Structure 1
């Protein structure tokens, strides 16, 4: 009897243990099934970053200035010291003209200046003589006048009148001598001005460079007759063409829709493939006028070229920075749901449930968009397959990294 009781208890315990194991196993399978039913979602965290909008344009280098160097006077080229490709400095002599008649004219002005100086000296002496004569005659008249006043009748009236007349005549001669001196000085000034004019013309027989640059063309050789560049009735021939190439202009055709972003000082990256160089420049001027034919605005960047490694006519690819937003909230563009003018994103909240948020976007790059409102830093947004999720649905977040910098590089077509 006792053995039978023990057997029954053992069987009951075994059956109870079996039921417990079966219950635990069913519960684990139920949990696993429930976890398997929760969908996963690729999410990224809203962070701060930098978005840049750039415009790529092709441009062509042009010299800062191009000057046809003419002669100021007509003459034959006696010497020419430069040729195509020569680098010259401002004030450097490029050519010397031979003008024989100008030399004779110069000598004539030298003689005129000397003669005018002699006339001034002669007139000064004449003034001195006239003043001395007037002083003597005036003194005689005063003495006679005083004697006649002291003893009336002592001096005849005729004699007194003659003395007075001589005094007045000598005074008039003094005035005439002074006028002659003034005229001589004026004539001397005219002679000096004429001499200076001819001296300048003689100096113009040396043709000099008006600026630092490179000779890009030579029009005349030794012995050629060159007409003065100031003559309006003749087609004067330049001696050389001079290009200022130590500073170049890079002209870019900016499309109409980017004109609003152009301002002086805007940074420009310039890539010149011909010399394998990348330069950094700034916008220095623009026309403020959109061409009706191309719908573009000419914009210029000055590029230093002290070593003359760049040549006018070379092409360059320039990248203009139109807009830049730094340290702003960003969200991947693939996370944005567009519905007309309204933008929204799906956010995974702290309970891992899906919410919909309307957002206001700012500058957009190629991967990121600036978030002006609707999201906070650290929010988790779904970055793909948004149509698969329901609002309020629980999801398993699968984090994906987000870039912190993005550039929207727009290619300009030059208005074509």
Structure 2
């Protein structure tokens, strides 16, 4: 049998198969290249991301306007230490601490026999001086008449007139001494200088009393507590908002649930160089006797603060950086670059710090910045939710 003919493939079909194979190889080559490029880009991005540190940022907050809480001290409206004006021994005392007294009320009596004897001697000296003055007056008049009769010389008459003037001066001196001793005798009675309450007594019967010794402990202390003075030291940065007539609220430890009202009556109008604060005096009506002088108080001042956009800015205390240039904070700009800004602290509230300048309301402040952070570093700023991605 003759051999069967071999199958043949047309050239057109071969070309088509070659095109398909070429296309498949091209697709495979492009896909592989693209995959490698994407993987390389992802690796580069991951490497760059790992080199840029992420930091948490926040806007500075505004301090409260018009409200200031400060410690204060209550004092009696008037307080007077009472000393003895004459020396002697205490005969008796008639009031004790906590006693309400009226002006001129007898507090104690001093036994001063030496002053009594000095008064007797002074009265005798006054009588002698008066008699000598009267005799000198009669003699002067007589010699004036004799001069008119040319019985004595003018010189002798002038001498008698001068003796009369000297005797009259001696009489006046003796009289003044008597009045002084009478006043000392009256000072044996120790009386209250004004209406008030006796807050201290530092003497007892038989104790020796030294007159006029201001260095000694006062015999009594009398305080007028119908009104109280409340003293507060206001920082210099807020002193401009203090003026007479403003009201304040305060509490005391013994009555924590009770809020009292006081009124600013005057201020020192000067800043103390040591404390950097201005002393302010408030007035409290204590006619009901609710509070005691010398007590500590926590005072809330309602100041007339500046406009809302002028209130001082606050940042968290953990935002501070301590550099050789001074205290600073790290800010993140729109280009995500760090700027180190020196600041000055006005007041320390513990978790927050009130700044006197260096930071704006639109700045982004880095919270808990690393010590290695430097000016010009590129960072990834993690802002609070809802905040814009760039500073405004």
TM-score by length of 2: 0.56
Deviation at 1:257, TM superposition (A): 3.1
User: 1:303 and 1:278 mapped to 2: Cα distance?
Assistant: 8
Deviation at 1:56, TM superposition (A): 3.0
Distance 1:292 1:184, change over 3 A: closer
- Contact 1:60 1:315 (8 Å CA) reproduced: yes
Corresponding residue for residue 250 of structure 1: 230
Corresponding residue for residue 213 of structure 1: 196
- Contact 2:249 2:259 (8 Å CA) reproduced: no
Q: Which runs of 5+ in 2 are unaligned?
A: 1-63, 309-331, 334-385
Corresponding residue for residue 69 of structure 1: 82
Corresponding residue for residue 126 of structure 2: 113
- Contact 2:247 2:261 (8 Å CA) reproduced: no
User: 2:194 and 2:232 mapped to 1: Cα distance?
Assistant: 26
Equivalent position SS for 1:228 = coil
Corresponding residue for residue 165 of structure 2: 182
1:81 is aligned to 2:106: no
How many residue pairs get matched? 253
Equivalent position SS for 2:283 = strand
Q: Which runs of 4+ in 1 moved over 6 A?
A: none
User: 2:146 and 2:387 mapped to 1: Cα distance?
Assistant: 122
Deviation at 1:291, TM superposition (A): 6.4
Equivalent position SS for 1:288 = strand
Deviation at 1:182, TM superposition (A): 0.6
Equivalent position SS for 2:260 = strand
Deviation at 1:82, TM superposition (A): 1.2
User: 1:57 and 1:268 mapped to 2: Cα distance?
Assistant: 11
Corresponding residue for residue 149 of structure 1: none
User: 1:256 and 1:174 mapped to 2: Cα distance?
Assistant: 77
- Contact 1:227 1:237 (8 Å CA) reproduced: no
Deviation at 1:219, TM superposition (A): 0.9
Deviation at 1:194, TM superposition (A): 1.1
Superposed CA deviations along residues 106-136 of structure 1, whole A, max 9, x for unmatched, are 111122222222222211211232233333x
User: 2:304 and 2:157 mapped to 1: Cα distance?
Assistant: 84
Equivalent position SS for 1:269 = strand
RMSD: 3.5
Deviation at 1:54, TM superposition (A): 2.1
Aligned residue runs from structure 1 range 67-146, under 5 A: 67-135=80-148, 137-138=149-150
Equivalent position SS for 1:68 = strand
Distance 1:193 1:211, change over 3 A: same
Q: Which runs of 5+ in 1 are unaligned?
A: 1-50, 139-166, 329-338, 341-384, 388-416
Deviation at 1:176, TM superposition (A): 2.1
- Contact 1:94 1:208 (8 Å CA) reproduced: yes
Highest RCO, 1 vs 2 (Cα 8 Å, sep ≥ 6): 1
TM-score by length of 1: 0.53
Equivalent position SS for 2:126 = helix
Deviation at 1:220, TM superposition (A): 0.8
Equivalent position SS for 1:309 = coil
Corresponding residue for residue 293 of structure 2: 312
Corresponding residue for residue 238 of structure 1: 218
Aligned residue runs from structure 1 range 253-292, under 5 A: 253-271=233-251, 274=255, 276=258, 278-286=260-268, 288-290=270-272, 292=274
More moved, 275-284 vs 94-103: 275-284
Distance 1:92 1:225, change over 3 A: same
User: 2:294 and 2:167 mapped to 1: Cα distance?
Assistant: 61
- Contact 2:242 2:304 (8 Å CA) reproduced: no
User: 2:213 and 2:138 mapped to 1: Cα distance?
Assistant: 44
Distance 1:68 1:325, change over 3 A: closer
Superposed CA deviations along residues 47-97 of structure 1, whole A, max 9, x for unmatched, are xxxx96222334231223443321122101112111011122333321111
